[in-house]
Structure 1
Amino acid sequence: MSINRNSKCWCGSGFKYKKCHLAFDEKIQELYNQGYEVPSRDLIKNQKEIEGIRKSAEVNNALLDYLEQNIKEGISTEEIDKMAYEFTTAHGAIPADLGYEGFPKSLCTSVNNQICHGIPSEDVILKDGDIINIDVTTNLNGYFSDASRMIMIGNVSSEAKRLVEVARECLYEGIKAVKPWGFLGDIGAAVQEHAEKNGYSIVREFGGHGVGLDIHEDPFVSHVGTRGTGMILAPGMVFTIEPMVNEGTFELYIDENNGWTSYTKDGKLSAQWEHTLLVTEEGVEIISK
């Protein structure tokens, strides 16, 4: 759709088009004409939206800090859920997971061989040697931020510790691959190469995603891939990178009883870290971690 140079920009910034996204659109059109997959305008956040996401992330990051300080041996994952709900609401925000497509809790707590979407329960008591992923998404005034961390409980085996460390390295390899006007496939390639180099596998069925104005947006961010392929990474895009790294096979199954929790098919351990990222003109900004 054409727009007058002196009209207000389509992004909602309030600035004139010629001072805002005119040069951006010309770049996008040039890349599209060359046959590249380019992001649609609804994937580009304006400055007001970015600030809203940053404020949401302040709560999300503080919640993860709080949980990390209070999760210990002997606590149930249900208690973690209650802490998350109380902290989030006390800060004027909403746990975005709660009720999302029927999800019954305020966060995901995935223990040991659970890959993702573990549902908090009073029956799951953390014990010495466990590893747990806590995955939280915060809605503050309609802006969403998303991140997860691994927590090691007590005396964790050297094998489990190494898996957790390499999973975090995979996340940061993916982040390093984010370049303005680079490719989405660069992220997956970097993550996959680092995991497989260390003898691990990467889950295919789940991945990162756009986020900011909703809990899940386009694009899907695969953690396997080929460099130089996929959607162009344009400044203003906000998405998560969240590699799920398995000790054994990447194959999985989903709990038939709850329809949510994903487990490694071979029963071996899985680890995951997640950050919310903004593509900038200069590189990448970590918003929530």
Structure 2
Amino acid sequence: MRRAYVALAAATVMGLAACGGGGSYSTVVGKIRNTGHVVVGTKWDQPSLGLVVGPGDPQGFDVDVARYIVNYLAHGRHVDITWRESPSSAREALLQNGSVDLIVATYTITEARRPKVTFAGPYVIVQQDTMVRATDTSIKKVSDLRGKRLCLAEGSNSYRRVVDPPPDGKLDLPAVLVNAANYSDCVRKLTDHRLDAVSTQNLILAGFAQQEPGRFRLLNDPIIDERWAVGIKKGDAATCEAVNQAIAAMWHDGTATRLLHKWFGKTGLKLPWYLPKPEGCP
């Protein structure tokens, strides 16, 4: 805790100093506290996680988590949030070029991403599962994906858990990969019989499944646990420490559990129920 408080104090000092020098902030937490504005990246096409329908801001679990974190970092003062769509294939670039300050968008911690991103959290641990058409009785468990058409969503690594061997993969199953722009595109192709299965985190799949009841079926055959974290520009340790405090508070005051039940309580999934151990900040 001492380390976290020192980091937060340093972030505030750096932010104030930067403000006097022309408005350039070296940390996101400094920017939030001194300008009252932040740019947050989320998904815009994932039901119950980050979805834009018509005019207005995105809605979903990740969006609500982001709002909680920003409010915590601002010490409860009003902050204007600009929401920016952050597809899987563009997340690292958006952070690196400064287009977004934080990304809360089903962002799994992986070793390949660590050199490019500072991860705060994880804020939740979810299981990778697989979704098929409800009428497809040929796929009952994950091993039945052998030889099937599996979606490869651009920028996502989930398909690797199925088709690659360890250490990067898990199952080493031969499957036919079908490219898609994102997971909503995967679901469209699944509906149109252009592929046979979509495998990724169960909360993502459950969001799509509950949007069209009876059309899809989750195998409930978990492959691996995935750690969803908040993406921050590489090297911003002060913001990372502050976000970790926000995540801990979100679980301790019951908000995380409430939000999970708000968005996924009717899916039948066994929902995450505990604060994940933080990865630590560089």
TM-score under structure 1 length normalisation: 0.25
Select the structure that is richer in helix. Answer: 2
Quick one: higher RCO (CA 8 Å, sep 6+), 1 or 2? 2
TM-score under structure 2 length normalisation: 0.25
